[in-house]
Amino acid sequence: MSLGIAIVGTGMISQFHSRAIAEVRGAKLVACCDRIAERAEAFASEVGCTAYSDLKKMLADPAVDAVSVATPSGAHMEPAVAAAKAGKHVIVEKPLEITLQRCDRIIDACEKSGVKLATIFPSRFHDSSVKMKRAVDEGRFGRLTLGDAYVKWFRTQEYYDSGAWRGTWKLDGGGALMNQAVHTVDLLTWLMGPVTEIQAQIATLAHERIEVEDVATATLKFANGALGVIEASTAVYPGYLKRIELHGDQGTAVLEEEDLKVWDFAKKTRADAAILKAMKESRSTGGGAADPSAIGHHGHAAQFRDFVSAIKEDRSPAVDGPEGRRSVEIVVGIYKAAKSGKTVKLPL
């Protein structure tokens, strides 16, 4: 029997959710909900599901077993909590929410209702990311020394003007960091471990009519003693592939978009030859560097597959609520450090 999934919010990202769900065996998109009835009906007509403009009515539909939250970032909590209270499993588009308090309310509601909660971070499911994580876990880097993340993207003024919520603290929760770079922040902490100290600066340099930053820099200290850097921007023309660099005293690996660009370890393994061969067949495109819609949905499909399996197997999803909260804590910590001009220590 297929798991019935409903999508709340029918903006751009909902298209990626619907395509992903369509590729997952044992899952079916059964409903969608948007406060604007015409938008819900148009989406439902396109993908073949039931349209709702009233969340309570959608949650009362017995065909709905789980809810995918695809609303603006600062409006994730309300539908997620309502879904949990209705006994529906919940999967939330990144970031989980824009404040730790709102993240915690989602996590608590799901725990109290005994439903599964996942945060969408599809980059964790890419084969290259998994290889880097495995190398870390196997100790191939030796002592980790540096972990750096770079998201130098470009967004036009029209992008921010296209939605009243874009570029606002209330609904976007931040700018280049919270909206665009949060995927890479999540990957960095997944690979390097918890962050304990942050120093940072943020600025709005190239866009008008936005409250949030379009340039951010931060220096980090990790719990394992390693240091790191995060650079994020939506003001770098024409936009470049996101990049993560991991260094240790026994190895270095560099990930650009989905492709490994450097894979160099003091102690070689048989598997390294295949990885190095694949590196020569690089396939990365611009991703979302300049166009937010120019991304694939294969990572989303892998994550929805894990979400459905977690429900059926009664286990935690690979990226559960607390895991989704980690990147939000780092981003909030960067904002706090930048605004105060002081070193911020985590946990907050």
Q: How many CA atoms, within 13 angstroms, populate the side-chain half-sphere of residue 277?
A: 5
Residues 42-60 pLDDT 10s: 999 999 999 999 999 999 9
**pLDDT value of residue 302:** 96
CATH code, residues 124-292+327-345: 3.30.360.10
- What is the pLDDT averaged over residues 240-255? 97
Which CATH code fits 3-115?
Answer: 3.40.50.720
Q: What is the DSSP letter of 1?
A: -
Q: Pick the closest to residue 289 from 256, 334, 246 (CA basis).
A: 256
* Model pLDDT, residue 64: 98
CB neighbour class for 283 (10 Å; exposed up to 12, middle 13-18, buried from 19): exposed
**Burial code of 118-151, b = ≥16 C-beta within 10 A, e = fewer?**
bbbbbbbbbebbebbeebbeeebbeebbbbbbbb
Q: Which two tokens stand for residue 292?
A: 């937010």
Closest CA to 187 of 222, 223, 148, 135: 148
pLDDT at 279: 86
pLDDT digits (tens, 9 = 90+) for 3-29: 999 999 999 999 999 999 999 999 999
Closest by alpha carbon to 58, among 115, 8, 14, 16? 8
- The rounded radius of gyration (Å) of the Cα atoms in the chain is 20
Q: Where are the domains of the chain?
A: 3-115, 124-292+327-345
The H or E element that residue 198 is part of is strand 195-203
Model pLDDT, residue 164: 87
Cβ neighbour number for residue 88 with a 10 Å cutoff: 24
pLDDT band at residue 212 under the 50/70/90 scheme? very high
User: For the chain, what percent of residues have pLDDT higher than 70?
Assistant: 97
**pLDDT tens digits for range 67-117:** 999 999 999 999 999 999 999 999 999 999 999 999 999 999 999 999 999
Single out the residue of 254, 232, 243, 238 nearest to residue 294, CA to CA.
238
- Tell me how far CA of residue 309 lies from CA of 65, 72, 98, 225, 303, in angstroms: 14, 27, 27, 36, 10
The strand pairing partners of 29, in sequence order, are: 5
Task: Count the Cβ atoms, other than its own, within 10 Å of residue 161.
Answer: 14
